[in-house]
Amino acid sequence: EPEVTQTPSHQVTQMGQEVILRCVPISNHLYFYWYRQILGQKVEFLVSFYNNEISEKSEIFDDQFSVERPDGSNFTLKIRSTKLEDSAMYFCASSVGGPFYGYTFGSGTRLTVV
């Protein structure tokens, strides 16, 4: 069964450093998302991406965050200057056509900012 692949599975970074989280969505999917889950809290929407541009972003997705689909297969989330409160599990998801078709989530990248 097709999977959404995320790398790395765990990243530790120092506060203020830039990190790039990588995702390979399912190949025929058109919609791409990043969500995050702070330990013990809800899964929260960050950003959706369609047709090479951001469709919607949440209040969390401020100027420190950016997304890219650089080569038609990878989908990346960059955090420019990490803060302690960015420590969370980051999930990439993709969908062929939106909620009706189901979202497939990756296994996540655990980001720890120290």
Partner 1 sequence: QKEVEQDPGPLSVPEGAIVSLNCTYSNSAFQYFMWYRQYSRKGPELLMYTYSSGNKEDGRFTAQVDKSSKYISLFIRDSQPSDSATYLCATSGAIQGAQKLVFGQGTRLTINP
Site string for partner 1, 69-98 (x = CB under 8 A): ----------------------x-x---xx
Does 28 contact partner 1 by CB under 8 A? no
Rounded Cα–Cα distance for residues 59 and 36 (Å): 13
Residues 6+ apart with CB under 8 A from 88: 36, 37, 38, 39, 110, 111
109, 7 contact by CB (below 8 A): yes
Minimal distance, residue 29 CB to partner 1, in Å: 11
Does 41 contact partner 1 by CB under 8 A? yes
The residue ranges that bind partner 1 (CB under 8 A) are: 4, 31, 33, 35, 41-45, 48-50, 55-56, 58, 91, 93, 97-100, 102-108, 110
